[in-house]
Amino acid sequence: MTGDGMRRRALLASLPLALAGHAAAQAPAVAFDHRHGAWDALLRQHVVLAAGGNASALRYAAVQAQRPALDAYLETLSAVPAAAYGAWPRPQQLAFLVNAYNAFTVALVLTRYPDLASIKDLGSFLQSPWKRKFFRLLGRERSLDEIEHGMIRAPGVFDDPRIHAAVVCASIGCPMLRPEAYVADRLDAQFDDALRRFLSDRSRNRFDAGSGVLAVSKIFDWYRQDFERGHQGYGSLQALFARHADVLATTPQAQADLRAGRYRLVHLDYDWALNDAR
């Protein structure tokens, strides 16, 4: 065979590989699962609701035993390009960030579990655990603080104070970890329900009609401005508590007192113990 013939045969033999490579380059990326199915499955299996359904704990040991499933979900979060995220509707973006915060928080706890009593044990004098950059999200190394304060709470982006009943810092004082993932098409209902459940939990928010004292979580102190200026139209903490008087108090008179603002507001100590269902 001549040299030209050998070159033609080699070229023809290489075409299938070249075409396959071209097809792979042109193939669309695997679509992100906006149902957050893998995370949803872990939550449904391992979140334990307290009596009344207004608080919860997580079986960290069981999640640790299924660490590959958690890691696989975290990898799907980390694989989302910033440009793709930017093209999503706002509810998809917010559900993505809240789920990411909660899932990466669990992963952080598991780095030292069971040898810790609180997520704060993972910090140091120089750096809180929430400032540690230990994962990638939207193309950058990130910390939990960057998700919550730099992205979810960024002024003018979502402006939804209900997120404070949805992001969970692995502590008993936090709102309950929901036994399902947050999803865009039910996000409003899920946020409303999360806030009402949090306010209904007497260990973290309670009204003593006899003394006229409304004792609420420190969350309403730390993030007061979010509740006052959020798009839910609360305007003030008093308006927020008045709107939810039916879950903060059980008697008509106590509810009337809350709606009229006839109470003294105090903030309860925050319980930083790990929300572990041991």
Tokens in use for 60? 């960290």
Could you read off the pLDDT of 214-251 as tens digits, one per residue?
999 999 999 999 999 877 778 999 999 999 999 999 99
Predicted pLDDT of residue 30: 64
- Does residue 222 form part of some domain? no
Q: Taking the CB of residue 70, how many other CB atoms lie within 10 A of it? A: 19
- Does residue 214 form part of some domain? no
Could you read off the pLDDT of 151-184 as tens digits, one per residue?
999 999 999 999 999 999 999 999 999 999 999 9
- Does residue 223 form part of some domain? no
- Does residue 194 form part of some domain? yes
What is the tally of structural domains in the chain? 1
- Does residue 157 form part of some domain? yes
Predicted pLDDT of residue 193: 98
- Give the orientation angle of helix 37-46 with respect to helix 67-78, to 10 degrees: 150
- Does residue 130 form part of some domain? yes
Could you read off the pLDDT of 102-123 as tens digits, one per residue?
999 999 999 999 999 999 999 9
- Does residue 59 form part of some domain? yes
Using only C-alpha atoms, what is the Rg of the chain? 24
Task: Using alpha carbons, select from 149, 152, 151, 67 the residue that is nearest to residue 106.
Answer: 67
Tokens in use for 7? 């070159």
- Does residue 10 form part of some domain? no
What is the extent of the structural domain holding 85? 37-203
